[in-house]
Amino acid sequence: MERPLGTDRISAYYDNNTWWFHKLGKAGKTGNIHACLRAPGVQNTEQASDYANLRILDEIRECGLTGGHLLDLGCGTGGTLAYLARQLQGDFHLAGVTVSPKQARIASARIRRWASVQPVHLLDFHYLPQEWTSLYHFAWAIESFVHSTDPERFFSECFRILQPGGRLVIMDTFPAIPEEQPLSPGLQWLEDYMTHWHAGHRLSVSETEEKASDAGFSLLHQTDLTPWVEKGRPRDRWIAWVNHLGGSLVKRHTYFQSLKGGHAVQQGFLHGQLTYTAMVFQKQER
């Protein structure tokens, strides 16, 4: 079956940039490549890097699960899987998917010490194996839903692979601007967000809830995590300077493209036009 337009581009983006993300990023030893969140009680960069993982852990525990199958939809280099394998007690079986061969290799090496975690699958989350139907009790997507070029298909697949009552968590960036609103010169950050952050859609939080509802999910709760996203750091000022002066670099190297995308995200946060939101859904009976 043909994959959604843009999937190969996302695969190449992460294959080319994963080394740079780890070398020049802020995740330390965590293996995460998602946002650091300076939530109340967070005391250092490692805890900030792991805070999104802690939110996933809390949701799993809130379900009352003492075992079951868990799936990371866009697992990166396995940081969240490794975190959960360390923290969870019980008969759990963890799995992850990514479209990046390089990420799949790194993640599989990172998690091989835990028998509860399978080697990472090189798969597109729009098209998951038929044998996974109703297999999973819990699934999550941290900063991967943004890349979906077919959100309807994403939610349809999530509905299919989850058991009745299973939960889906999405933690990601969401524009506050309706998807149908045309891009304008005053929204240059959004154009850069779509192009260089490789966003596959422009769904707002409310539009995402509507797509999920159409697929058979109900929204249990959502949390705006934007206040805890690090903004205006010296690193971000350096990135803004590079973006201003390095137009040719952006054209030549995918890492500088990612910096331009990251700068767009910062601009969206600073102007109140982009949120970082956690949404928790539950599969309903049909």
| Residue pLDDT, tens place only, 95-115 | 999 999 999 999 999 999 999
CA torsion 158-162-168-172 (nearest 10°) is -30
Question: β-strand 136-142 against 162-175: which pairing, if any?
Answer: parallel
**131 Cβ contact partners less than 8 Å away, ≥ 6 residues apart:** none
**240 Cβ contact partners less than 8 Å away, ≥ 6 residues apart:** 263, 266
Please choose, from the candidates 280, 34, 285, the residue with its C-alpha nearest in 3D space to the C-alpha of residue 138. 280
Return the pLDDT at 148: 97
The CA-to-CA distance between both ends of the chain, in Å, stands at 26
Average pLDDT over residues 22-26: 68
CA distance 188 to 275: 17
Is the pLDDT at 162 greater than 50, yes or no? yes
* 284 in Cβ contact with 214 (< 8 Å): no
pLDDT: which is higher, 267 or 154: 154
pLDDT: which is higher, 60 or 27: 60
Name the β-bridge partners of 219. Answer: 281
Q: Residue 3 has which token pair?
A: 């994959």
Count of CB atoms situated within 10 Å of the CB of 172: 25
Name the β-bridge partners of 175. Answer: 274
Domains of the chain, each with CATH number or no CATH: 7-178+199-230+274-283 (3.40.50.150)
At residue 242 the predicted structure's pLDDT band, cuts being 50, 70 and 90, is low
